[in-house]
Chains A and B, each alone.
Chain A
Amino acid sequence: MGLEDAAHPNPHHLRQRKGTTPQMVGRYPDYDVLEQQRHWDDATRRVVLDRVQNTPPFRFFARDEIDTLKAFCDVVTAQDEEPRIPVLAFIDEKLQGGVGDGWQYFDLPADGEVWRRLARGLDDEARKLTFESFARAPEEAQVGIVHRFSKAELSGGVWETVNVGRAWKVVMRYVGQAFYSHPWAWSEIGFGGPAYPRGYGAFGSPHLNEAESWETAENVHYDPVRDVRERGLD
């Protein structure tokens, strides 16, 4: 993964036409997973719609941490404009709830403290480059710092108090959960979403149709494999 990754603009040739997706980018322009909600069981619908309708308030992170970490989440999820999935708000909610994922590396503090130290470390790196803070640094500088974090190439100061490579794994796990648990992201990637009690009929059996009635066409104006290669994303 090259340094230039996040500098790529969002692929606006993948303009979403239906519903909402992050940055209105989607591989399935006419697919909105939320249109299927009448097929979901009550318990699931409640949990999933709450994610769309209610952004959790910040209670775990302090104001300056929020600015820094929001900028970090935007860079690692390439969210450079609205509509954005409020990734950090969901992470704050999880950390405030105090229920982690069930393990802690012996050379890392608890997950919440890893996040706090990340905020300090990112700001320290930005100041070394003479910027006021990570959030106020220009995008190229942010991307450069995140690139070095992803390669565990940051050292000195707060980075000496954590295993940097593992800290990357921990925070990116939180980011992945927050972003890809959101229905907007499901519409972007064409995931079918909750499937109880309806289930699926079309999953490869030759005697059935190849697509469900509610699935829509993929945007095939380009070859993603070649595109990934040409844009240096592989």
Chain B
Amino acid sequence: MLKGSLLMPADNDSAFLLDKHKRGLQNLDRMARYRDEDTVDLVVVGAGAGGGVLAQRLARKGWRVVVLERGTFWDPDRDWVSDEKGAGQAGLYWTDNRIISGNDPIEMGKNNSGQGVGGSMTHFAGYTPRLHPSDFEVRTRDGVAVDWPISYWDLQACFERVERELPVAGQDWPWGDPHSYPHGPHPVAGAASVAWEGARRYGIEMRVGPVSITNGSFGNRPHCIYRGFCLEGCKVNAKASPLITHLPDAIERGCEVRADCMATRIEVDDATGRVSGVVYVTDGEERFQRADAVAVCGYAIETPRLLLHSTSRRHPNGLGNNADLVGRYVMVQGATQTAARFPELLRMYKAPPPEVSSEQFYETDERRGFARGLSIQTIAPLPIGWAEHVISEGHWGQGLREYMRDYNHWTVLGILAELLPQSENRVTLADEVDANGVPVAHFNYNLCENDKAVIAFGKRILAEIWDGAEAQDTLTIDRYAHLVGGCRMGFTPDDSVVDASHRVWGVDNLFVVDGSVLPTQGAANPALVIMALADRAAGLLAEKRA
């Protein structure tokens, strides 16, 4: 088959297996169906960034893979709407209750938690930057947190491979390990142009992208239509998620994606110490899928929750938790946003919210008095999101209405600040249980002094940019984005939950392949990083079995 340019992915036909005129998957009628009593080669828990890539890679190697996904198998034509409230009603966000606490409790739901086939990438904004080489050795370089047991160079080829599959669009990237992208930069909307101009006057370099949104011909996936509803599920199939980037190919190669299945326990054979499969609930019925190996890909809250709940004689405190590390070192990024008002009509709801970004302040600069740094990115809230901005500054009544009527004159810049991993920022099991009788997650979070300093620095930069752009008025909202950590990867069983190959220490056939393994997070949005890690993990697993 002629596939177009040499940059088209060689070993992933997902974009060609989709239909040009229908958004849902076209090969579901020939998807493999395994029985619970079949001992499949691998059960993957969670069909998101980690699980989607892992399943596709191993299905390609001939593994019999079952993916258990708690949410819906989406058909974007049928299930998704061009509407903020409707996206939540469709069930895109993980809205099961979670208890939040600490000095800086982290709000969950639509902001950072997804469900359904494709995971939270179905409603992420679309930014897909790489980590920098420095991110893997912050202990050595900056004396904070920990080094990773792998380096940037272990992931470089994985980043490139995944960027081709999404595909990522953007200008040539000058920061970190300089690189270019398979698709060129998208056109820049008025709202983002104003921000860019302000940054330029302040001496800040910005670049268009990197976003995983098609900007050219890519198999049967259409070009972006710039409708601005990236966070509500892309009805166009232009923005990447594993639903369209990896799972069509996985299914074609014999993988079964079993939706509406909530994993509740991983079973361990106490005689051998190996896991034997996964207990899950579907349609109110408890079932058990046997497997040779299990990969947990449920992200920073649900992965620790599942492991902590999977107690046994050998693992009385939960699977992989003999060193009391499961659920610890969960991280979010400081994502303060400052909106600015201009005389022109900017209509920021047009075009994808992610457009232009800068990594100029990403690395440690000792003169600033804190370690590590931040990225700067444009975003563009729709009306409900904009109301959250206005309300958080204390406006209500006529003040709220007036700021809202002014919506089309505003544009928004945000920071993505690297916050450091801390042992007490952790997920534990609450007393309250969910509908399946599993304790809900309790997430405690406190900022440390370095975190506060980097966020304060970021706010000053945003203020300077808007000053440079001669904004008439500004509004600032303090918030957090993304979730990683909770099952960190490390060097020994005493410092981590998984080893450098993603295997849970002491449990030979149990793996964690998602954002929870990140020891530190950089100032990059995590989607591409998680996919690159899954690409590498799959390679190691396939090698071992072969």
Contact = CB atoms under 8 A, between A and B. Distances in A.
Contacts of A8: 397-398
8 contacts: A5-B397, A101-B93, A105-B105, A188-B404, A193-B82, A198-B225, A204-B193, A233-B395
Nearest to A9: B398
A221 B399 CA distance: 19
Given A76-B396, A102-B113, A189 B98 contact: no
A179 B109 CA distance: 20
Nearest to A8: B398
A185 interface: yes
Which 7 pairs from chain A and chain B are nearest by CB?
Answer: A102-B109, A199-B225, A204-B190, A6-B397, A195-B227, A176-B387, A194-B82
Contact of B406 (A5, A205, A224): A224
Given A43-B77, A179-B387, A200 B350 contact: yes
B474 to A, nearest CB: 11
Nearest to A43: B81
Contact of A172 (B96, B192, B382, B396): B396
B20 interface: no
A64 interface: no
Contacts of A204: 187-193, 350-351
Interface in A180-223: 180-181, 185-186, 188-200, 202-205, 218
Given A78-B400, A100-B97, A180-B384, A192 B86 contact: no
Most buried by A among B82, B86, B403: B82
A155 interface: no
B391 interface: yes
B77 A196 contact: no
A44 interface: yes
B11 interface: no
Contacts of A188: 401, 404-405
A200 B227 contact: yes
A104 B407 contact: no
Interface string B132-170: 000000000000000000000000000000000000000
A76 B397 contact: yes
Interface in A1-56: 1, 5-6, 8, 10-11, 14, 25-27, 40-41, 43-44, 47-48, 51
Contacts of B393: 1
Given A43-B81, A176-B388, A203 B190 contact: yes
Contacts of A10: 398
Contacts of A99: 95
Contacts of A44: 81-83, 86
A234 interface: yes
Most buried by A among B382, B384, B397, B408: B397
Interface stretch (B228-236, B276-284, B315-323, B449-457): B228-236
A106 B101 contact: yes
Interface in B54-97: 77-86, 88-89, 93-97
B345 interface: yes
A191 B404 CA distance: 10
B341 interface: yes
A199 B227 contact: yes
B187 A205 contact: yes
B347 interface: yes
A48 B83 contact: yes
Contacts of A47: 81, 83, 86, 89
A223 B84 CA distance: 29
Nearest to B397: A6
Most buried by B among A41, A204, A233: A204
A181 B386 CA distance: 11
B384 A177 contact: yes
B288 interface: no
Most buried by A among B226, B235, B405: B405
A141 interface: no
A110 to B, nearest CB: 8
Nearest to A176: B387
B260 interface: no
B347 A203 contact: yes
B207 interface: no
B347 A181 contact: no
A150 B398 contact: no
A109 to B, nearest CB: 11
Nearest to B223: A199
B183 to A, nearest CB: 17
Given A43-B80, A233-B399, A103 B108 contact: yes
Given A197-B225, A228-B403, 5 more contacts: A103-B98, A103-B108, A181-B84, A192-B349, A224-B405
Given A43-B80, A189-B383, A172 B110 contact: no
Contact of A104 (B78, B98, B382): B98
B319 to A, nearest CB: 25
A147 B383 CA distance: 24
Interface in B224-264: 225-229, 235-236
Contact of B407 (A190, A231, A234): A190
A196 B473 contact: no
B536 interface: no
Contacts of B22: none
A197 B97 CA distance: 34
B222 to A, nearest CB: 10
Nearest to B190: A204
A77 B109 CA distance: 25
B472 interface: yes
A5 B236 contact: no
B404 A180 contact: yes
A192 B397 CA distance: 23
A179 B350 CA distance: 21
A110 B430 CA distance: 14
